[in-house]
Amino acid sequence: MKVINAVGKRKTAIARATVKDGKGIITINGTPLKLYQPEIARLKIEEPIIISSPLSQKLDIEIEVRGGGVFGQADAARQAVARGIVQHSESAEIKQKFLAYDRNLLIYDSRRTEVRKPSRSSQGARRRRQLSKR
């Protein structure tokens, strides 16, 4: 039996997915995917499963997610699931499907919030005091 471990990241959230042959059971931190809340996050995690539909029905996927917020965790989990399915299937066709749908399913998004600079304001990294001409 083939067991694949895949990692997905988004901001500070890290997801580890274990993909193996089975009956199509998917759990996130021990909770079945059907019961995962909020619903929008669940739908986001289901995207790679729906895209690779006939193959993913025969796989058991266990996802463990730590860190970040709800949607960062959802993005990390969907990336881990997509990477796990691609590694398990070893099919270039599924990889191309994922890349055509959304590049972030397989490729890490390196964007981060800019570090706050020391200035008079606490509003943000580049915020300065407003100039008054009079």
pTM above 0.95, yes or no: no
**Domain locations along the chain:** 3-105
Q: Which of 84, 63, 80, 75 is nearest to 21 (CA)?
A: 84
Residue pLDDT tens, the chain, 134 long: 789 999 999 999 999 999 999 998 999 999 999 999 899 999 999 999 999 888 888 999 999 999 999 999 999 999 999 999 999 988 889 999 999 998 989 999 888 888 877 766 677 788 777 789 88
pLDDT confidence of residue 130: 79
The residue type found at 100 is: A
Quote the CA–CA distance of 51 and 56 in Å, as a whole number: 9
Q: Which CATH architecture has domain 3-105?
A: 2-Layer Sandwich (3.30)
Residue with tokens 């304001």: 121
Residues recorded for the chain: 134
